[in-house]
Amino acid sequence: MQCCGTPFDAGETVSWLIGKLGADTYWDSSFMKLSCERMEYYYEAHSSEYEKLFVVHGTVSRIFAVHSAIEQNPDGSNTNIRVPKIVTPVNHANGLDENIDGFEFNSYCVVLENVILRPANKSEVTFR
- C-alpha to C-alpha distance for 105 and 88, rounded to whole angstroms: 10
User: What residues have CB less than 8 Å from 4, skipping those under 6 apart?
Assistant: 45, 46
Q: What is the largest CA-CA distance in the chain?
A: 43
In a domain, 2, yes or no: no
Q: What is the pLDDT of residue 128?
A: 60
In a domain, 35, yes or no: yes
What is the pTM assigned to this prediction? Answer: 0.81
Amino acid making up residue 1: M
In a domain, 41, yes or no: yes
For the segment 52-105, what is each residue's pLDDT rounded down to a tens digit?
899 999 999 999 998 888 888 777 888 887 777 888 899 999 988 998 998 989
Number of domains comprising the chain: 1
In a domain, 127, yes or no: no
Q: Structural domain of residue 87, as residue ranges?
A: 8-122
Terminal CA-to-CA distance of the chain, rounded, Å? 19
In a domain, 128, yes or no: no
Q: What is the pLDDT of residue 41?
A: 84
In a domain, 92, yes or no: yes
For the segment 36-57, what is each residue's pLDDT rounded down to a tens digit?
567 788 888 888 888 989 999 9
